[in-house]
Structure 1
Amino acid sequence: MDSLKNHLLIAMPSLDGSFFERTVIYVCEHDEKGAMGIVINRPIGLSVEALLIQMDLDAEANLSDDAQVLIGGPVLPDRGFVLHSPEKVWTNSEAVSDYCTLTTSRDILNAIGSADAPSQFKVALGYSGWSKDQLEQELADNTWLTIKASSELVFDVDYEQLWTLATKELGFDIWQLSSQTGHC
């Protein structure tokens, strides 16, 4: 299977009632060892500004109330991950695409609270991870649909609208799909 790095995983309606109900996950890494991604549409009810204050970091910049901390996934939920535009690289930064970098070091949080903040960012706690061949099996089981990610979908679409807009990008009505696969 080709790498799904820089793609979105869109939860199928069959996941309703689970942790991943109507989630959209930005895939940051996908290779023969497994996959890693960040849920980009599930706010935890804490603003980024409030998080910075809790961490005793400066929050000098006027952060929008729309900048919410996200639940990135069930793995390491106390660890921070920042998806951001690539104007600058911080201590633990890795390019995911030409428009998105993943950083896990505290120095980016200092920058977010200042005039040095990246122009676009999402802060998440935790990540979503899959072991070798696990994501491929979930795709075969019709758990996820995939589309190529875009800067607009990753950074610009409102959290509540992202799942709906991402499903529309597929070009069909997701509610008409069956969760049953046609193979043995």
Structure 2
Amino acid sequence: MATPMAQKRRERGFLDGQFLIAMPGMFDANFARTVIFICAHSDDGAMGFILNRPQQLTFPDVLLHLDLLDEDEAIRLPQVTRDFQIQAGGPVETGRGFVLHSDDYLSDSSIPVSDDICLTATLDIVRAISRGEGPVRATMMLGYAGWGPGQLESEITQNGWLTCPARDELIFDKALDDKYDRALALMGVSAAMLSMDAGHA
């Protein structure tokens, strides 16, 4: 299945590299209180990753599932590798893995999504991370968030999302519980303020 990330060389859309922050009245439970990093936006639609939803699978679970190592090898993995964070990136293709990472790691399949962040969705980066040879900063997402042509623009117009420039430190921050509030703080607002505003015409 093709995604808006399919072309490596592309013009960046105006939402590329932006955070989407769900408004308190977000009707879709998949996206309530989410912070999303938009990786691709064009006339064909948009694609991004939820940054504050935990995933129950661990990195060793993923390696075992992909047959990249056996259980004995998984037990011997260094703690930093065992603790490599997996997140629920969105409701689309939830069995597919993507790694958002700093641009100090590049392979033939890596796609730049901002000035210093890349996306790689192939096994080479998973193997590199398991060997301790991966990028300095990275997080793995299972699934992604996707919108059809004009859909995201319409949701923003209907007051479903706030947008602001993404911050790398928030993308790779492992503390998920308060990431929504910290993303709002980048805009100088709080969830309480938005809840009060939502009740007024």
TM-score higher than 0.5: yes
Write the distance in 1 (CA, Å) between the matches of 2:20 and 2:64. Answer: 32
Identity %: 39
Which residue type is aligned with residue 97 of structure 1?
A: S
Deviations 1:20-51 (A, max 9, x none): 11111110001121110011111112222332
Question: What are the equivalent positions in structure 2 for 1:90-101 lying under 5 Å apart?
Answer: 90-101=107-118
Structure 2 match to 1:37: 48
SS state of the match for residue 63, structure 1? helix
Write the distance in 2 (CA, Å) between the matches of 1:24 and 1:151. Answer: 13
- Stretches of structure 2 that go unaligned for 5 or more consecutive residues are 1-12
Q: TM-score, normalised by structure 1?
A: 0.89
Deviations 1:34-85 (A, max 9, x none): 1100111111122223322332224645435653321111111111111011
Structure 1 match to 2:125: 108
Which residue type is aligned with residue 25 of structure 2?
A: S
C-alpha deviation, 1:7, in angstroms: 0.8
SS state of the match for residue 152, structure 1? helix
Which residue type is aligned with residue 52 of structure 1?
A: L
Question: What are the equivalent positions in structure 2 for 1:66-105 lying under 5 Å apart?
Answer: 66-105=83-122
Distance change (3 Å), C-alpha of 1:140 and 1:17: closer
- Stretches of structure 1 that go unaligned for 5 or more consecutive residues are none
Structure 1 match to 2:135: 118
Q: TM-score, normalised by structure 2?
A: 0.82
Which residue type is aligned with residue 126 of structure 2?
A: L
The one of 134, 144, 148 equivalent to 2:161 is: 144
**1:10 is the counterpart of 2:21:** yes
Write the distance in 1 (CA, Å) between the matches of 2:34 and 2:83. Answer: 18
* 1:142/1:179 contact within 8 Å kept: no
Q: Which has the larger strand fraction?
A: 1
C-alpha deviation, 1:140, in angstroms: 0.6
* 2:181/2:191 contact within 8 Å kept: no
Write the distance in 1 (CA, Å) between the matches of 2:25 and 2:83. Answer: 29
Larger radius of gyration: 2
Question: Number of matched residues?
Answer: 181
* 1:16/1:22 contact within 8 Å kept: no
**1:172 is the counterpart of 2:183:** no
Deviations 1:2-22 (A, max 9, x none): 611111111111127711111
Write the distance in 2 (CA, Å) between the matches of 1:17 and 1:35. Answer: 17
